A = this chain, B = another copy of it.
């Protein structure tokens, strides 16, 4: 079945194993049957992995035919050898597919500071190239997993004025996830024809409200990158303001679907929360407040315990926003207002406690000032998160 990145026409994928993960395939190939406009968003972490440096250079031309991804090892902090290895992955993919090397993007995810078994990786690339399949989307999504509990794919069909186009995607990620950085690995494909500059602008806008508006643990990976490939195989071009907007909304929907799957799969996640901040006067303050709550370990522990301890929400917001004391803020949990202008107000404590036992929560904070509204989607902090991350490499 043509799922995920293979849902749009003209894309094929495959996976193979190079022994970097304890079990299962760990090398994925994604290939377009024709040159595709390409856009990318990369981690802002200064300890950027070798594949990030290579793909940033490769994507500058705005066009790509293939993406090669490995999981298990991050190829980060690997020095000159790491750069050589990333270029070897590009060259092996180009050779196996008969493509110019400039048409290949590369991504890695996994443990930092260990070299790739590059001969095994290039052999796996050759093996994957021999079994490329328009039904390979699921296998590719599976191969890019590390600690992910499940593979993440998304797909949508959207009607434009000149015809319908498809958008598909896959992502990996469960830990080392924080907003406002191009977060985790994701690859999004479309059979629409889109100019590279327009694709890049639409991708950035989509990431801004999807991958940049989630948090699992407030940690920014050295390897994050999101690629978008638009190959035009549908015969439909995205042009005209209305179609651009329609396509942009669909691209955002796919990115948001993938990003929310990453949070739901956050290591040890038992509950997720949609947190809305309104009225901060400016976007930046609203975002600062939203992130402060989404990344606050006390908030996340209370959420895990089904504890309506809203004092931790006000503590997180008050600690994050510079300015005069006192901070007048309203707080609601699951629609029950608990704090008005910075002071507790009477509320049904039993109803509140019952309301926070479910798997999906909504918190709202309203600050003084009008206009800005921002939303962040985050997970709780569980025993299981600690266990997974206390035992990751050893």
Which residue of the partner chain B has the closest CB to A381? B386
Interface residues on A, range: 35 or more
Residues of A contacting B: mostly: loop
Q: How far is the CA of A114 from the CA of B311 in the complex (A)?
A: 9
User: Is the pair A297, B78 in contact by a Cβ cutoff of 8 Å?
Assistant: no
Residue interface bits A269-302, CB-to-B below 8 A is 1, else 0: 0000000000000000000000000001110011
- Work out how many copies of this chain go into the complex: 2
With contacts A47-B327, A302-B392 taken as known, whether A312 is within 8 angstroms of B112 at the C-beta atoms is yes
Q: How far is the CB of A15 from chain B (nearest CB, A)?
A: 25
Q: How far is the CA of A304 from the CA of B308 in the complex (A)?
A: 27
Partner of A315, one of B221, B385, B389: B221
Flag whether A102 is at the interface (Cβ < 8 A): no
Flag whether A130 is at the interface (Cβ < 8 A): no
User: Is the pair A311, B219 in contact by a Cβ cutoff of 8 Å?
Assistant: no
Contacts of A46 in B (CB 8 A): 317-319, 321-327
Contacts of A115 in B (CB 8 A): 344
Which residue of the partner chain B has the closest CB to A393? B309
User: Is the pair B219, A79 in contact by a Cβ cutoff of 8 Å?
Assistant: no
Q: How far is the CA of A198 from the CA of B322 in the complex (A)?
A: 28
Partner-contacting stretch, out of A17-25, A119-127, A186-194, A335-343: A335-343
Contacts of A219 in B (CB 8 A): 296-298, 312, 315-316, 319
With contacts A175-B298, A326-B53 taken as known, whether A315 is within 8 angstroms of B222 at the C-beta atoms is yes
Partner of A344, one of B113, B302, B323, B344: B113
User: Is the pair A301, B393 in contact by a Cβ cutoff of 8 Å?
Assistant: no
With contacts A77-B339, A79-B343 taken as known, whether A326 is within 8 angstroms of B47 at the C-beta atoms is yes
Q: Can you list 17 contacts pairing A with B, beta carbon distance less than 8 Å?
A: A46-B317, A46-B321, A47-B315, A77-B311, A79-B341, A113-B311, A113-B339, A181-B319, A217-B298, A219-B315, A220-B318, A222-B314, A222-B318, A302-B392, A304-B390, A305-B390, A305-B394
